Every structure is written in structure tokens, then in C-alpha cells.
Amino acid sequence: MMKKTYKIASVLLVIALVLVGCAPSQTSSDSEGKLLVYTTIYPLYEFASQIGGSDTEVRLMVPAGSEPHDYEPSAKAVGAIENADIFIYNGSGMEPWVDSLLGSVSNDDLLIINATSTMDLLSIVETENDHEDGEEESDHHEGDTDPHVWLDPLRAVQMAEAIYDGMAAMDPERTQVFKKNYDELVDALKELDAAYEKALMNPSNANIVVGHAAFGYLTQRYHLNQIAIAGISPLEEPSAAQLGKIVDVVNELKINTVFYDALTSGKLSNVIATETGVAMVPLHPLGSVTQQDLDAGKTYFTIMYDNLEALKKAVQ
């Protein structure tokens, strides 16, 4: 009887091993088979989270409140991407550290998505020199194009499309879920675009002074004129002479507001506002958000609508 029991147990073990061997392999994330997605900047993180929903695990590389332009990934970050299914980055010079990062990764199955690779992009010259009296082009950028595409809701739709296509390719069985989530995101982005179009139509003064040249796509879309205190990177500070010229422009064009980047102290904007006597108001470039923003439940959409309210007051 014991020998018979051993034989049955052996047969069951063999069957179990065969079944395990034939089972589909899990994705990198966990035993539930969720896609593991790494994103570089906050807008990509939010878009990927909305499209992937509960069927993905999305992680943000650049820590909350950090400046994406000068972030340096750690060895731990490189190791984490070895286990990822998808890596999504903005491109267009936003993350000058990406090439080095990916060069250190040996994950042959990793799907890499450059979210701006198929877009028509503004050049640095176009976005830094919107105003005819604008300052000369800076030498300190990492690329030739303006990377801040997410501030134009219709270009954000293109980013979302690239993310959806990647997720559907990596996990075809969940394509229908991804498509539903993607469609809802696109509807929200188009609604945001319509709100901007309506609110910023026929401004009394289309000129806005901003902390750094992050708003070129937004101002192009809604027919405004960006006058930037700093260059594409907020780390590029102007000279005293350049600040003086911006003061002259504010007075000449009767601009009533100077914006500063919500993630900075706004010291340069404060210089302009103090010299001209105009209001100083935050305008969020959204490349990164603070932990305080996240804890308060702020999102890409709530911040974009906050930006719209600030812009309406400045241009009307």
C-alpha cells in the first residue's frame, strides 16, 4: 500500500512540474502579472498611471520636488530598471542623464518609450526668444529643442498615445482596459484644451513674464507671448543687464503680473516685480511636483486648471 502511495505522489509531482513549466511567464513586477513601468517625470507618471490603472505598477524616478534637468540616477535606480517592463522618458533634452542610465542597463526585454520622438518640437531659439526684445539664446541647455510639451494639452494627448501603444504592445490581453483608460484621459485633456482656448481668447495683453522658458508650447497654442527670465532650465540665471531689460519690457508693455516657478523661491521674479511694482504669482511648470502637492491630492489636471486661473487674471 505504501509503495502504491509513493507512486501516486511521484506521478502528481511530475504533473505539477510539467504544468508549472507550461504556465505563461509572469511580467517583471509581481506574481499578479502587472506591468512594471518606470517613468522619469511627473506628467508621464500620471498619464501612465491613468492608462495602466490597476493592471500596472507605475513608479516615478525623479523624486518629488526634485529638478528633472539635473537629476542623477543612483546605482539603485539602475538596478530597479533591470526588472522593469517599460521605461518611459520625455526626451528632447529634458533628461540628459537618460542615455547614460540606459547604457548601464542590460534588460533586453525592456520597452523604451521616448514620449516626444514623433512630435514637431519648438527649437530653443523659438521658445526662449518669443518676444522681439528677448534675450540671446543661452549656451547651457542640453539639447536643441524645448522639452516642456506636457504644458500643451494637445501635445499631452500625443504623449498619452505613445504610452498606450507601448502598454498594449507589452500586454495585449489587457489592451481593451488600456484603451478605455486612454480614451478617458484623452477626453479630459481635450476638455482642458477647450477651457484654455475659451478663457485665453482675445486677451487684453498677450505678454506674460515667466520664471523660466518652460511655457513655449502653452503660449504658442493659445496665442500668448512668453518673456522668460531664465532659459529652458531654471538653473540658467540671467545677468543683471538682462534683468534690467526685462524690467524695461514689463514697463513698456504694461504687464501686470510676473510669474515665478512654483517649485522655486522666485527670487529673480521678485526682483522684476519689486522694480516694476506688479504682482508676483506662481505658475507651475509641472516637470516635478512636491510631496506636499501629492499629499494634498493635486494632479496634473488640478495644477493645469490652477495655472489657467492665474493666466486669466494676468492677460485680461
Per the structure block, which three cell numbers stand in for 120? 514637431
Q: Tens of pLDDT along 249-290?
A: 999 999 999 999 988 889 999 999 999 999 999 999 999 999
pLDDT classification of 120: cutoffs 50, 70, 90 = very high
pLDDT value of position 274: 96
**Taking the model in full, what pTM does it have?**
0.86
Show the domains of the chain with their CATH numbers: 35-193 (3.40.50.1980), 203-315 (3.40.50.1980)
Helices (H), 222-266: 240-252
Whole-angstrom distance, CA of residue 212 vs CA of residue 235: 9
For the CA atoms of 271, 277, 281, 282, the dihedral, rounded to the nearest 10 degrees, stands at -10
pLDDT tens, residue by residue, 23-47: 333 345 554 689 999 999 999 999 9
Q: Which amino acid is at 287?
A: G
- Better-scored residue on pLDDT, 89 or 1: 89
